[in-house]
Amino acid sequence: MSASNLHMYVMIAPLLTAFFVNLLGRRSRAWLAPLTLGSLAFSSLASLVVLGRVVRSGGYRYTVGNWTPPFGIELVVDHLSALMLVLISLVALAATLSALKSAEQELPGREHLFFTLYLILIAGLMGLVLTADAFNLYVLLEITSITTYGLIAMGKGRAPLASFNYIIMGSIGACFYLLGVGYLYLMTGTLNMADIARILPDISGGAAVATALAFMLVGLWVKMALFPLHGWLPSAYSLAPTGAALLVAPLMTKVTIYLMVRVMFSIFSVDYLFLQNPLVQSGIVWAAAIGIVCASALALAQRNLKRMLTYIIVAEVGYMVGGVWLANSTGMTGALLHIVNDALMTLCLFLAAAAIYYRLGSLDFDRLQGIYRKMPVTMAAFTVGAFSMIGVPPTAGFFSKWYLILGGIESGHWEYVAALLFSSLVNAVLFFRIIEIGYFFKSGEHHGHELREEAPLLMQVPLLISAVALIVIGLGSGPLVDSVIRMALPGGF
């Protein structure tokens, strides 16, 4: 393998492994762990090398098989996509450690099927962040969605129904996106994003282009569950098998936010998006702000840890969409930084939830009494994740929120500032409610002492790493912003 196409191997490793997992894992489940972990560890290392190279010597474009664009497949490896690649592979690696344990418990005999889909999903996500082609993006989006439908449907109880619900909504979203791409193809005759961007300024037909943009955005918003298009997400994520939620919850919405950024700034211009239609720009920030408030309020009504977390995810989507549409560099910095931070804190909280579920078999609030005494390590990490969600410094969550709020102040979008503050307060209520139940209610009043019963080591290790990462990334957010995020800002910022 040559150094210049290392990013290809990052993506290919999990894709190829998926087939071996299916073939060998069918024989013996002993194959599962080395194969999945091996391929993801390789991807993680390789993606770090790719990011290092991009930071040192700048981004580049790559044509697969030397078929030149606009006909061949073009990949773009810049600061943003390299960062996303690192994020996806590391999060996937951490999630897999825990997922191996929970799949063993929840899906006995079907683990090889589970991990086949799981690895294809990871490869699809990596492809999504690399592609520079609007149609390939659609294809990969469907690959990730279809694998996710399958993974969710493997859950117990009403999971197939939730998955079906997601299929309907997801397909509608994909159709919208595809229609948008179709409009652009009609207007420009090409599907390569850079190509479209080059041709667009020269053609007349404002209505068609605007329609294309609107279709593509709405399609992506459905996929990322922006309020009020979020209806499918809470059930799908909370009924999915634990292992699937571990991977999907931290990554799927965040990657879709990335796609929105990519589509917006690789195809359309800053001038077209923000300056020519200030009303649209403000309107979207307003919608995001309202979405944040509503989703946070809905989270308050939940009595189950995982469902509560899913509504927080919906609120966080509003953070990032609003941040991007604030149309200033501070807000954009905040949105991109928040993609990283939110992925990590969602990972941390879902890993903790997985560990609790592994021991308790339930995540209802009234079952959580005395959980701190029973699982002190897990809950310590959970608390760090919770603080990050609330935005307590020096955890990572504080710093991206800082940029987002500052961006809101700079652009005078006080409704967005208020929504973020409101959501932080709601998060404080949500998590301290759990801390109060888990810590300060004396549990097991009949049995006296609650036995200490921690989750298996394989679940604790990634959890602790993710909790430490939240603090490290928080303290290191200065260098991270300077050397990666600032370079990743789209042209014009």
Q: Does 421 bind another protein (CB under 8 A)?
A: yes
196 binds another protein (CB under 8 A): no
CB 257 within 8 Å of CB 324 = yes
- Identify the helix (H) or strand (E) that includes residue 101: helix 79-106
Length of the chain equals: 493
Q: Which residues contact residue 373 at a Cβ distance below 8 angstroms, ignoring those fewer than 6 apart?
A: 443, 450, 452
Rg of the chain's alpha carbons, rounded to an integer?
22
Question: Residue 188: CB partners within 8 Å, gap ≥ 6?
Answer: 195, 196, 199, 200, 203
Give the closest residue to 237 by CA, choosing from 107, 318, 350, 144: 350
Residue 428 makes contact with another protein by CB under 8 A: yes
Residues sharing a CB contact under 8 Å with residue 108, sequence separation 6 or more, in sequence order = none
The residue range among 15-23, 260-268, 388-396, 460-468 that interacts with another protein, by the rule CB under 8 A, is: 388-396
The residue within the footprint of another protein, chosen from 32, 99, 417, 484 (CB under 8 A), is 417
Among 23, 161, 275, 425, binds another protein (CB under 8 A): 425
Q: Specify the residue, 10 or 396, whose C-beta has the smaller distance to another protein.
A: 396
Number of residues that bind another protein (CB under 8 A): 30
Q: Does 464 bind another protein (CB under 8 A)?
A: no
Q: Which of 19, 67, 71, 432: binder of another protein (CB under 8 A)?
A: 432
Give residue 314's identity as a one-letter amino acid code: V
Biggest CA–CA distance in the chain, Å, is 77
Return the residue of 271, 364, 410, 453 that touches another protein, per CB under 8 A: 410
**Shorter beta-carbon distance to another protein: residue 232 or 431:** 431
Residue appearing with tokens 């690895």: 119
Segment lying near another protein (by CB under 8 A), choices 100-108, 115-123, 279-287, 403-411: 403-411
Q: Does 476 bind another protein (CB under 8 A)?
A: yes
Q: Considering only residues 441, 458, 461, 493, which one is a binding residue for another protein as defined by CB under 8 A?
A: 441
Q: State the sign of the Cα–Cα–Cα–Cα dihedral 7, 9, 15, 21.
A: negative
- CB contact at 8 A, 226 and 83: no
- Asked if 479 is part of the footprint of another protein (rule: CB under 8 A), the reply reads yes
- The nearer residue to another protein, 131 or 395, going by C-beta atoms, is 395
Of positions 477, 484, 488, 490, contacts another protein by CB under 8 A: 477
Instruction: Give me the least distance between CB of 386 and another protein, in Å please.
Output: 10
Q: Which of 59, 231, 394, 492 binds another protein (CB under 8 A)?
A: 394
Scanning 79-87, 90-98, 190-198, 401-409 for contacts with another protein by CB under 8 A, the matching segment is 401-409
Q: Least distance in Å: CB of 449 to another protein?
A: 13
Question: Could you tell me the two tokens for 158?
Answer: 């009403």
Q: Closest distance between another protein and the C-beta of residue 479, in Å?
A: 7
Residue 77 structure tokens: 């490896």
- The answer to the question of residue 448 lying near another protein (CB under 8 A) is no
Q: Exposed (0-12), middle (13-18) or buried (19+): which is 185, by Cβ within 10 Å? A: middle
CB of 421 to another protein, least distance (A): 6
Using rule CB under 8 A, residue 114 touches another protein: no
DSSP alpha helix (H) spans, 200-241:
206-224, 233-239
User: If residue 467 lies in a helix (H) or strand (E), which one and from where to where?
Assistant: helix 457-475
* List of residues 6+ apart from 486 with CB closer than 8 A: 333
Binder to another protein among 141, 305, 351, 390 (CB under 8 A)?
390
| Minimum CB–partner distance for residue 365 and another protein (Å) | 14
| Region of residue 58 (left: phi > 0; alpha: psi -120 to 50; beta: else) | left
Residue 364's φ and ψ, nearest 5 degrees, are: -65, 145
* Count of C-beta atoms within a 10 Å radius of residue 271: 10
Residue 409 lies near another protein (rule: CB under 8 A):
yes
Binding site for another protein (CB under 8 A): 387, 390-394, 399, 402, 405-406, 409-410, 417, 421, 424-425, 428, 432, 436, 439-442, 474-479, 481
